[in-house]
Structure 1
Amino acid sequence: MSTSADPLAALAALPGVPEAVDSVRKAVDRVYGHRVMRRRSAEITSEAALRGARGSAALSGADWALEEVRRRTDFSADDEARTVGAALRLAAEAGQLLSIWRQSPLRVLARLHLVAAGGAPAAPAGAGVDVPGGAGDTVGRPRLAGEPVVEPLVELPLPDADEVAGRLDGLSRLIIAGGSAPALVTAAVVHGELVALRPFGTYNGLVARAAERIVLINSGLDPKAICPAEVGHAEQGSEAYLAALDGYVSGTAEGMAAWIAHCGRAVELGVRESTAVCEALQRGAA
């Protein structure tokens, strides 16, 4: 991160990253060129949002079958249902925040957490965090010193509140400044940084993956939101996801490159999922 104009540019030059960026770009171009996209792109977008939400929820401990997510209407019964409901709300909300992201990313993150927690009558079991359906003062703001965090499956070292505030400010400045770094690199950094920081008491993973989605859409890489990286993250499995996050948190060149490549593979698997949906629509099977 040596260039003042674009501190993320150095990450784009790490070994393996240019290849990952190029591979993602080609994969995205292929699905956008599918003949079904010319007439039925709205259906692909809708299906990608649903499948992305399912994948994101799976990485937060609620690994439901797609048809169960599609069928259910009540998402308040238990912790898993609330997690799936939060993921679905975030998928719907992300597209409404695109114009705000580059001007005020912290405002968007606060909104994402408010939306995620808004349907929860309480925090996940054993959390000890007050998130009573929007009434609690922990919702929609970064945590303060001493406030606990519940993030299923993630056991990375937890930065203190002062470090969180400083790093969120730095991330916000990077996003507002823009730069030449490829969308994949920026999206990976946003995602990795938010999971590493866990700035909110709950739902940090869901918020991080929604923010990654916003970057990919807003950058122009995936303007119609048909390449759900969340699907690919889930398909690679929680063990690989957490191992790649360890690389990001390490801050080493190798670790950062591995995390960016992991995110690239997630996008490509999301592309594969939407390509399959295109093919099914073309056959009249979906």
Structure 2
Amino acid sequence: MTESDALAQVANLPGVPDAVNDARTAVDRLLGHRILRRRSAEVSTEAALRGARASAALEGSPVTLEELRDMESPADPVVHGALRVSAELGTLAETWRKAPRQVLARLHVLAAADAVDGAELGRPRTSDKPVQDALDLGEPPSPAEAARRLELLSTLLTAPTQAPALVVAAIVHGELLSLRPFGWGDGIVARAAERLTLVARGLDPKSLVAPEVGHAAHADAYADALRSYISGTPAGVTTWIRHCANATADAARDSQAICEAFQRG
């Protein structure tokens, strides 16, 4: 680890390594399931649907899996946006490694296409108009400060690090919801970016795990952990990363259950 490897330093905060190892164990157990030799694409599709449902619920648009399966074109822009994002994630991993700002813009276009004026899609906010705050996180940074920190995040993501994928994913998620750079749909974008990081950095290369499912299962803890992260203290950052690790482990177990259901036929 070099002195400039800030993410690796975060990964060594007390309590973080154990939480990360527990999540990796759950993901590895899932990846070893026999059904994935033949049906990994189906598991990934089901996990994506569950992730979209969970992300929409966290934005204040609860919907059941059965309703989602029956919808030809969801009327709710939040639900529709979450579905579009989940459907396209698999095509963005390679670009995410090299050009994260480009991918974030694309994710916002997908998430907000039914809710935001076309001129604002994919563009960070530039005015102080009200910002969507589904999780009651409080006032976001100013547009100028959000833009500055978004550039720093992009630089961090394209620099070498020894930090585990899960730590990087948690920081990406936490920063994006701290900044709320677009003003609408930031939660959908942030959770997609977390999942995309796990795929691009090799923890979940086949996109079988939807951490959104774990976040939604503990929605109150999710919002509280985000507020802890926003505080900027080492303890707050640790609380957030441990929450993300637990959410990922829960999601891996959910996908394990999908595998078991497929195996039973």
Which TM-score applies when normalising by structure 2? 0.97
Q: Deviations over 1:189-237 (max 9, x none)?
A: 0000000000002100000000001100000000011111000000112
1:89 aligns with 2:71: no
Q: Contact 1:105 / 1:175 at 8 angstroms: preserved in 2?
A: yes
In structure 2, the residue matched to 1:75 is 74
Q: Deviations over 1:79-134 (max 9, x none)?
A: xx21111001000111111111121111110111011112x1xx4xxxxxxx24xx
Match of 2:198 among 216, 220, 227: 216
Tell me how far apart the structure 1 counterparts of residues 136 and 164 of structure 2 sit (CA, whole Å).
27
Q: Contact 2:165 / 2:203 at 8 angstroms: preserved in 1?
A: yes
Shift of 1:2: 8.4
Tell me how far apart the structure 2 counterparts of residues 172 and 13 of structure 1 sit (CA, whole Å).
22
Q: Contact 2:137 / 2:227 at 8 angstroms: preserved in 1?
A: no
Tell me how far apart the structure 2 counterparts of residues 89 and 178 of structure 1 sit (CA, whole Å).
31
1:157 aligns with 2:124: no
Quick check: which one's helix share is greater? 2
In structure 2, the residue matched to 1:267 is 248
Shift of 1:154: 3.0
Shift of 1:145: 2.9
Which TM-score applies when normalising by structure 1? 0.90
Q: Contact 1:195 / 1:205 at 8 angstroms: preserved in 2?
A: yes
In structure 1, the residue matched to 2:122 is 140
**Percentage of pairs with the same residue:** 53
Tell me how far apart the structure 1 counterparts of residues 232 and 150 of structure 2 sit (CA, whole Å).
16
In structure 2, the residue matched to 1:110 is 105
Q: Which runs of 5+ in 1 are unaligned?
A: 124-130
1:192 aligns with 2:187: no
Q: Contact 1:217 / 1:224 at 8 angstroms: preserved in 2?
A: yes
Tell me how far apart the structure 1 counterparts of residues 218 and 2 of structure 2 sit (CA, whole Å).
32
Q: CA RMSD in A?
A: 1.3
Query: 3-state SS of the aligned residue for 1:8?
Result: helix
Tell me how far apart the structure 2 counterparts of residues 156 and 148 of structure 1 sit (CA, whole Å).
11
In structure 1, the residue matched to 2:14 is 15
In structure 2, the residue matched to 1:128 is none
Shift of 1:46: 0.5
Q: Deviations over 1:125-149 (max 9, x none)?
A: xxxxxx24xx3x2211100032331
Match of 1:111, as an amino acid?
R
1:168 aligns with 2:150: yes
Q: Contact 1:3 / 1:9 at 8 angstroms: preserved in 2?
A: no
1:183 aligns with 2:165: yes
Q: Contact 1:138 / 1:201 at 8 angstroms: preserved in 2?
A: no
Q: Contact 1:2 / 1:10 at 8 angstroms: preserved in 2?
A: no
Shift of 1:183: 0.6
Match of 1:83, as an amino acid?
V
In structure 2, the residue matched to 1:3 is 3
Tell me how far apart the structure 1 counterparts of residues 120 and 104 of structure 2 sit (CA, whole Å).
14
Tell me how far apart the structure 1 counterparts of residues 64 and 100 of structure 2 sit (CA, whole Å).
32
Q: Contact 1:247 / 1:256 at 8 angstroms: preserved in 2?
A: yes
Tell me how far apart the structure 2 counterparts of residues 71 and 269 of structure 1 sit (CA, whole Å).
26
Q: Contact 1:55 / 1:231 at 8 angstroms: preserved in 2?
A: yes
1:2–1:61 distance in 2 versus 1, CA, 3 Å: farther
Tell me how far apart the structure 2 counterparts of residues 100 and 283 of structure 1 sit (CA, whole Å).
37
Q: Deviations over 1:252-271 (max 9, x none)?
A: 11110110000001101111
Tell me how far apart the structure 2 counterparts of residues 100 and 147 of structure 1 sit (CA, whole Å).
31
Q: What does 1:21-36 align with in structure 2 at a 5 Å threshold?
A: 21-36=20-35
Q: What does 1:56-75 align with in structure 2 at a 5 Å threshold?
A: 56-75=55-74
